[in-house]
Amino acid sequence: MSAHSFRRFATAGLAAALCLLAPEAYAQGAPPTLDPANTAWILTATALVLFMTLPGLALFYGGLVRATNVLSVLMHCFTIACVVSVLWLVGAYSLAFGDGGALNPWIGGLSKAMLGGIGTGALSGSLPETVFFMFQMTFAIITPALVVGAYVERIKFGAVVLFTILWLILVYVPVCHWVWGGGWLGAMGVQDFAGGLVVHVTCGTAAFMVARELGPRRGFPRDVQPPHAPGLVMTGAAMLWVGWYGFNGGSALAADGAAGMAITVTHISAATAALTWMTIEWVKHGKPTLVGITTGAIAGLATITPASGFVGPLGGLVLGLIAGCLCYVAVGVVKTICRVDDSLDVLAVHGVGGATGTLLTAVLGTAAFGGLGLSKLTMVGQLGVQAVGVIATVVFTAVVTLIICKVVKACCGLRVEDDVEIEGLDIRSHGERGYLIR
């Protein structure tokens, strides 16, 4: 949760108290009260964000791989959702959003581990804290699940599980605390409404590092097989698009105009980026593809995420246009210039998109561009703060992810054997087939 979101969240609770209590009580700092409307909306948003991973992301990624690997991708996404859910309860939530005392600029404490001291009546602003816990859990789930796109078709299943455990604790939790949990980036004034840094920059950077360490798929870059099921890709992308309403709109933590605007600019950005990507592909290759237009939409969604609570409709349109162009170019840069097989373009779409949206929030969030003008800094000053956030997140994520990869490789290995990769992970790793053709 960004600093702005936290202020809006706290204000909503205090306003409710003002309506119910005497002015004297309000002046003395009466505690916040539960807001049923806000609670109902965040419950809905929580379901929408989980829907993004299960089944949205799973189907989107599953359609992009070979037919012999589709079940492995679904297995990765489903397992990550389960692993992260347990870790979030055991202590990850507390480390992200708890009070870390003297270490609070860097990490939270363990006072909320296992939801200790948090009963059904405990509030976080105007929401039950259990609802806030669940909403933030869905963000923690989808972030390592997005990294799946970097290592599909060639990674050991045990490596996926161990990598997810270590990465959530050592990368996602600290960055989440820095930005949303009272850490040093939030204190600097970084604006990240719904996860440009916390979700997209971290997963994009991690994807690049994992893909680099793992090595390319067989036949990369010239003989990689095309997506086996573009229809599944579109179905998953559509689910992601709908779920993103909860992702961005829910980050307002209230059922109000800020949530409505966040959803509005999210939709505009996705549609604009999809059309932009399709047009570039059409002009360049002579045919617009379903995979292309859906990938463009995801690029627009990732790019608008950090800015969605700060920009107006013009900002959504501009970010969508930039996302469609920049992320399209980034796909080629990663694969042909860097020669890294980030298989499903996590860095190009999510990393580049999230970083771009984070930086341009400082510009498009100003009143001059129809934004809300919420920053207390000048445009240049805010841009500097946003740049510090991006650089710190990229460097920290890259270094720690590389170390995690080395540890996982030493413990259980990263890559499957050549014959397993050729036959496919579905049958060799999981003993099942995605399709039975008779």
pLDDT digits (tens, 9 = 90+) for 270-319: 999 999 999 999 999 999 999 999 999 999 999 999 999 999 999 999 99
Nearest to 331 by CA among 207, 194, 244, 167: 207
Location of structure tokens 């956030």 = 389
pLDDT (tens digit, 9 = 90+) per residue, 254-265? 999 999 999 999
Mean pLDDT for 132-147 is: 98
Task: Please tell me the least confidently modeled range out of 29-43, 163-177, 387-401.
Answer: 29-43
pLDDT (tens digit, 9 = 90+) per residue, 48-106? 999 999 999 999 999 999 999 999 999 999 999 999 999 999 999 999 999 999 999 99
99 φ, ψ to 5°? -85, 120
**pLDDT higher than 80, residue 23:** no
**pLDDT higher than 80, residue 20:** no
Mean pLDDT for 192-210 is: 98
Return the structure tokens found at 5: 């979101």
The answer to whether the CB of 379 falls within 8 A of the CB of 362 is yes
Mean pLDDT for 340-363 is: 97
Task: Please tell me the least confidently modeled range out of 11-15, 147-151, 209-213, 270-274.
Answer: 11-15
Mean pLDDT for 346-354 is: 98
Going by pLDDT thresholds of 50, 70 and 90, the confidence category of residue 30 is: low
The residue type of 200 is: H
Domain borders along the chain are: 39-430
Task: State whether residue 377 is helix, strand or coil.
Answer: coil
Going by pLDDT thresholds of 50, 70 and 90, the confidence category of residue 118 is: confident
- pLDDT (0 to 100) of residue 437: 66
- pLDDT (0 to 100) of residue 438: 58
39-430 CATH pick, 2.40.50.180, 3.40.50.2300, 1.10.3430.10, 1.20.1300.10: 1.10.3430.10
**pLDDT higher than 50, residue 24:** no
Location of structure tokens 């095309």 = 226
Report DSSP letters for 100-160, one per residue.
Answer: -GGGTTT---STTGGGTT--TT-EETTEEHHHHHHHHHHHHHHHHHHHHHHHTTTB-HHHH
**pLDDT higher than 60, residue 18:** no
- Cα–chain-centroid distance for residue 393? 14
- pLDDT (0 to 100) of residue 411: 97
CA 209 – CA 175 distance, rounded (Å): 17
> Which carries the bigger pLDDT value, residue 236 or residue 20?
236
**pLDDT higher than 70, residue 212:** yes
Nearest to 191 by CA among 312, 357, 392, 64: 357
Going by pLDDT thresholds of 50, 70 and 90, the confidence category of residue 377 is: confident
**pLDDT higher than 60, residue 25:** no
Task: Please tell me the least confidently modeled range out of 18-22, 194-198, 280-284.
Answer: 18-22
